[in-house]
Structure 1
Amino acid sequence: MSEDPEPAENISGGAAGGGYADTFDADAPATRAEAVVDRLGELYWQKSYGGRDAFECLVRTILSQNTSDVASQPAHDSLMDRYSSRGDLANALAEADQTEVAETISSAGLYNQKSERIVDIAGRIREEYGGEAGFDEFVREEDPTVVRNALLEMTGVGPKTADCVLLFAGGRQGVFPVDTHVHRIARRIGLAPADADHEGVRAHLERDVPGEKCGFGHTAMIQFGREHCSARKPDCLDDPEACPMADLCDQVGVEPSTGEVVDPSEVETAD
């Protein structure tokens, strides 16, 4: 195994993502959710996060919305190449031509909408925090609830984006961002109610997973979703033993005997 097995093409960026390898006790998990996260840590990686530039992290997460990391990473890299050399990144993007920004991030999808959001948020950060340094200090040092609420007031910033900034830039423990993979897997395994929305899943995971394990729990669960527990064809359909989480999973919405796979919420409704 490499020193940092987390893929670089990821929202957290592997070795470049501001995290570092860490170890956590996995001897006696207090909840099933903690047992799942411990297993994910054994399967993929155990890391602590924090240290990324807050504004860049915010921009990176906006670029990842509704698109893959494979598509959004080149957009991020192109944006940094064009604007990071102009001094304060927030100030540079606040003054940038929106059409030029859209062209720069065109690989990310929804680039017109995302460029408007990035330029608008950059202007707000320049006005309210004086630029990226002031915003970075705010994210790292202010009360997490205050930071989260401030982020959610920004155009185009939802709970997952806000939580990624708190985790990857702020290094805040106890934050478990919920993306599409985490939302599906937590309900499929049975760690949250089948009909829970993203915020409901987040509440259950942050309640049942120790704060220091939430960061790698989030990133490793995404990797598990990509490799083993996809939306349409989880490994357990063909072979229950092929899934490293088989003994901990309720298989909500998955019926290997028939090959049927539905969203967990549909099972709840059917009952």
Structure 2
Amino acid sequence: MSEDPEPARNISGGAAGGGSAAEFDPETAGTRAEAVVDRLGELYWTKTYGGRDALECLVRTVLSQNTSDKASQPAHDALMERYAPGGEADEEDDGGDLAAALAEADQSTLAETIRPAGLYNQKSETLIALSKRVLEEYGSAAAFDEFVREADPETVRETLMDMSGVGPKTADCVLLFAGGREGVFPVDTHVHRIARRLGVAPADADHEGVRAALERAVPEAKCGFGHTAMIQFGREYCRARKPACLDDPEACPMADLCDQVGVDLESGSVVDPADRASDDARS
């Protein structure tokens, strides 16, 4: 049973929230990291991404910070119901702009709306500031969306990371889910843990180090799916404190591809891969 189940409705990309199907051939993997992604493709529906409104994607990712999808999705849904064009805050129902609605939102009301996501006061302030900047620099949510989809990816990433409350993972999620950019492998806590535990990224790599290692080793077309599938794999098998291999080494579908860095099957202990690497260096 998953520790952190996905929402009933997948909202991670594409016009209907699910992306479009993609096909991977495990026999052609050129690196172990690519083989890992191909194996994930045998477990989960492979998909490509893009098509999501950029500002909504940015809002969704900010809401997901430091919490689970199970908690952040209700906050996202409530925010969109109130502030999206045609929502409760759009009194004239005239096809208004999400950026304008959030920029003009009462902070306490917005905070209460997104309460399920946690850190709601901080996140509401961030969302208002982000929306004001979008309006100031692009004029509308639609124009911001065009920038995310059509500008140079590195320029988009740098611009997003210059915004308050936006870090590398948030910027990469916007590039992937809204921009549909290939070659982007966002790194959250699951991906950071699993890539190092598997041994496809250095044990002591930070989030950016893991991203760089994966984007070098995984073909561009497979990076987006690799991100979402690795998260699901982390929820179902490679959990932080109790990976499936502790109960049965053969229970994990990645057993033959995994270095089990930080996992001691004999003692049942689990440590961060970086701690295991430090211990090995001292011995």
Q: Partner of 2:80 in structure 1?
A: 80
Aligned letter for 1:75?
A: A
Number of residue-to-residue matches in the alignment: 266
TM-score normalized with structure 2 length: 0.91
Q: Partner of 1:3 in structure 2?
A: none
Q: Please point out which of 205, 219, 240 is paired with 1:231.
A: 240
Q: Counterpart of 1:17 in 2: which secondary structure?
A: coil
Ranges in structure 1 where 5+ consecutive residues have no aligned partner: 1-5
Q: Partner of 1:45 in structure 2?
A: 45
Measured in 1, the distance between the counterparts of 2:9 and 2:71 equals 9
Measured in 2, the distance between the counterparts of 1:187 and 1:241 equals 20
Is 1:185 matched with 2:185? no
Measured in 2, the distance between the counterparts of 1:191 and 1:10 equals 28
Ranges in structure 2 where 5+ consecutive residues have no aligned partner: 1-5, 91-95
Measured in 1, the distance between the counterparts of 2:237 and 2:125 equals 36
- Whether the 8 Å CA contact 1:125–1:131 is kept in 2: the answer is yes
Q: Counterpart of 2:27 in 1: which secondary structure?
A: coil
Measured in 2, the distance between the counterparts of 1:124 and 1:61 equals 17
Residues 189-268 of structure 1: pairs in structure 2 closer than 5 A = 189-268=198-277
Report the Cα offset of residue 268 of structure 1.
1.1
Q: 1:9 to 1:256 in 2, by over 3 A?
A: farther
Measured in 2, the distance between the counterparts of 1:25 and 1:48 equals 15
Percent sequence identity is: 75
Q: Partner of 2:279 in structure 1?
A: 270
Report the Cα offset of residue 131 of structure 1.
1.1
Is 1:94 matched with 2:103? yes
Q: 1:198 to 1:259 in 2, by over 3 A?
A: same
- Whether the 8 Å CA contact 1:195–1:268 is kept in 2: the answer is yes
Is 1:25 matched with 2:25? yes
- Whether the 8 Å CA contact 1:178–1:202 is kept in 2: the answer is yes
Q: Counterpart of 2:28 in 1: which secondary structure?
A: coil
Report the Cα offset of residue 14 of structure 1.
8.4
For the aligned residue pairs, the C-alpha RMSD in angstroms reads 1.4
Measured in 1, the distance between the counterparts of 2:8 and 2:24 equals 23
Measured in 2, the distance between the counterparts of 1:9 and 1:270 equals 43
Report the Cα offset of residue 117 of structure 1.
0.2
Measured in 1, the distance between the counterparts of 2:234 and 2:69 equals 14
Q: 1:128 to 1:15 in 2, by over 3 A?
A: closer
Q: Partner of 2:16 in structure 1?
A: 16
Measured in 2, the distance between the counterparts of 1:63 and 1:98 equals 15
TM-score normalized with structure 1 length: 0.95
Report the Cα offset of residue 16 of structure 1.
3.4
Q: 1:29 to 1:188 in 2, by over 3 A?
A: same
- Whether the 8 Å CA contact 2:187–2:227 is kept in 1: the answer is yes
Report the Cα offset of residue 252 of structure 1.
0.1
Q: Counterpart of 1:128 in 2: which secondary structure?
A: helix
Aligned letter for 2:267?
A: T
Q: Partner of 2:93 in structure 1?
A: none
